[in-house]
Amino acid sequence: MITRVSACALASALAATTFAPVPAHATTREEPTRVTTSAANTEIKPPVAEKRPHSYTHHGITIEDPYDWLYDKSYPTVDDEDVLSHLKAENAYFEAKMAAQKGLIEALFSEMRARIKEDDSTVPQKDGDYLYWSEFEEGAQYRKHYRKPVAGGEAELLIDENALAEGYDYFRLGAVAISQNGRYLAYSTDTNGSERYTARIKDLATGALLPDVLENLRGDLVWVANDTALVYGPSTEEWRTLEAKLHVIGTPVEQDVTLYKEEDQSFGVATGLTAQEDWLIIATGDNETSEVRLVPAANPTAEPILVKARQKGVEYAVDVRDGEVWVWTNDNHINFRLAKAKLESPGEWQTVIAGSDDFYLTGFDLFKDFFVTEGRLNGLDQIQLRSYADPAKITPITFPEASYTAALANNPEYDMKKLRLAYQSMVTPSTVYDYDVASGKLETLKTQEIPSGYDPSLYVAERVSVQARDGTMVPVSIMMRKDRAEILKKAGIKGPGPLHLYAYGAYGYAVPPGFSTARLSLVDRGFAYAIAHIRGGDDLGRRWYLQGKLFARTNTFNDFVDVGRGLIAKGYTAEGMVTASGGSAGGELMGAVINQDPAQYGAVVAHVPFVDVLNTMLNEKLPLTPGEWQEWGNPITDKAAFAYMLSYSPYDQVTAKAYPPLLVTAGLNDPRVTYWEPAKWVAKLRELKTDDNLLLLKTNMGAGHGGQSGRWNSLRETAEEYAFILWQVGMADNPEPK
């Protein structure tokens, strides 16, 4: 239970992967949409949203937006009866159309659940005088968190998420921090999916909750001032974190002190502790620029030390060890370098590890006797141990597979003799290792157990490259059964069979080629499952990310379309048998590719899709818009950005043509991609599409960006998604998986 945070993890927390609400100005109020049936025709009809005149003009271009009214002006309260009626009608339509697949959904849910060890627990990890771990009880939706003394003794229940979730349709545990003396536990919870958390403090000596309550916050909770105070980040009404505040335990919240306040509305603030837990890091930044201040953790109201003033386009993150400031930065190389400086002159950075065209440095961690650099080489994760005396000497931690994902896991103490690692691949279940620093040996502590059985020798993972239209080679990770051809033949499927293609492609997030038990429900039925490592992620380095943002954004969409076409050409699948899914910015991807090449896809699932891009980026009053201009462009001031965004914004580019079967999800309380984006998109698709393919919208009326909470509720939504996919490619009656 740690307050220490990786410098680069803290920097990543500032890179917003979220989206803002869209404005609406309804001009008329007519009868709400209703679901109707008749004696002659009991087939439920798809809801048809009314069109209400609305338009806006920028840079001399006028855009008609007749579905703008679906945004409830009182948001985050949604009480417009017309809006609610329409969303409920869409949900009723979803339930009615999916009713015929209820048996398949239950079968999928049952087999997915059977692969999950219900009474599972994490591997205990030492932090100070205690071992900490969490576990699920059989049947439980949520975890329990425990600790026990290293010296021996009984386990102590710290947090029972199930008890905290009781009475709520949605629950998520946020930040958790135990004071350095081990007495106090601070934690935050979200009970409606809005991601506005409430923090409480528990006295572990008595089990009682202190009267202190911190409302409406985001981010971490950090113990400072010798465990007498907490640093936290309150959320503004616009869902922005612009302050680092100090709460002294036992004092009124109204007396909390602002340690730092950010004036630039496009920036966000995050906090954490350094490796030796003696300095409080106050980091602020947007998607491309950073600025960091240091404050003594024992005296958090002291004058902050500015490491280096912000410079547009320069990102950096810091840690401190023995009076030296260590800096990870892209100031002179696109793939970042590692530098250090004296605390007395923190802005004078001297290179420790130079930037490299080949090795992409993604982060570093400082420990007492060594430090660790993480990164990617040819798209594969690297973990490297280095000595302070000779940083150029590398001790790599090697893994046996050709394609995998690996990273440092929970390593809370400064003096670590064994490093906790996390590892998996598309065919290897999640594995927890301890790496003995002295001997260089890996010890397997736990391998994900699959109660219903799993034999990795039945599967094959491949990594291929597909040429995009501009000549760029795009890597693709693929998993399938070795006996796929026999499975398809038994199911009566002719040709190469279906392939599911997944990607994200934004914010420099690289989708790891990791393991999924749920995915087996497609693969064991003859699907190939592919992850497209498209531009917009940083899979092949920072330049790979930059080639998919701003005025290069359409590279992301083109890569995905071309990967699908390339896999068809290579014989993995056929036109109309490619299924695809993506969420949030990946949902924007889904909207763009079905506008571009709808015939390729047999079914598409778009989760909380960011599809009304232009409207969102035009409204600077919305929660996240100012911070997103660095990622997408500012169409308010830049005519070229307006035109470019208009050219690909999925909602704006819906036209009269045939679209593939489509399942769309939304969350009524989602602050990242607000519910009306998918609702407006579906309404426009219903109006203009020329096909009879199924189009479904499911809005979680009590959840947010991540869908329903709880491991079984979430798994059931995955079962619904897979049932939709199997149904639409003609495999709903497929035999039981191989």
Nearest to 524 by CA among 450, 463, 589, 582: 450
* Cβ–Cβ < 8 Å for 502, 563: no
Dist. CA 540–CA 380, nearest whole Å: 8
85 is known as an active-site residue: no
CA-based torsion, 395, 401, 402, 407: positive or negative: negative
Give CA–CA dist 415/607, Å, rounded.
42
Nearest to 375 by CA among 385, 365, 361, 386: 361
Residue from 588, 680, 623 nearest 63 by CA: 680
Going by C-alpha positions, the residue among 189, 201, 188, 256 that lies closest to residue 227 is 201
Q: Which of 145, 247, 500, 705 is catalytic?
A: 705
HSE-CB for 252 with a 13 A CA cutoff: 2
Which of 603, 601, 606, 560 is closest to 583 using CA atoms?
A: 606
Given 425, 584, 649, 709, which residue is catalytic?
584
The CA distances from residue 571 to 459, 477, 497, 498, 577, in Å, are 18, 15, 9, 11, 12
Q: How many CB atoms lie within 10 A of CB 33?
A: 19
Concerning whether 129 is annotated as a catalytic residue, the answer is no
Indicate the angle between helix axes 585-596 and 554-569, nearest 10 degrees: 60
Contact present, 460 and 513 (Cβ < 8 Å): no
Cβ(98)–Cβ(696) under 8 Å? yes
Asked if 369 contacts 417 with a C-beta cutoff of 8 angstroms, the reply is: no
Of the listed 86, 235, 670, 709, which one is catalytic? 670
Mark whether 439 is an active-site residue: no
Q: In this structure, is the dihedral angle defined by the CA atoms of residues 474, 501, 487 and 403, taken in order, positive or negative? A: positive
**Any residues with CB less than 8 A from the CB of 110 and at least 6 apart, and which?**
none
- CA 727 – CA 241 distance, rounded (Å): 43
Amino acid residing at 282: I
Helices (H), 272-392: none
Cβ–Cβ under 8 Å, residues 669 and 650 = no
**Cβ(513)–Cβ(477) below 8 Å:** yes
Place of tokens 């924007």: 588
Residue 661, CA distances (Å) to 151, 166, 579, 654, 694 in order: 59, 37, 10, 15, 5
**DSSP codes of every residue in 481-541:** ETTHHHHHHHTT--SS--EEEE----TTPPPP----TTTHHHHTTT-EEEEE--BTB-TT-
Q: What three-state secondary structure class fits 205?
A: coil
Say if CB 513 and CB 529 are below 8 A apart: no
Please name the amino acid found at residue 215.
Answer: E
Quickly list DSSP for 13-48.
HTS---------------PPP-----SS--SPPPP-
Active site positions, annotated: 584, 670, 705
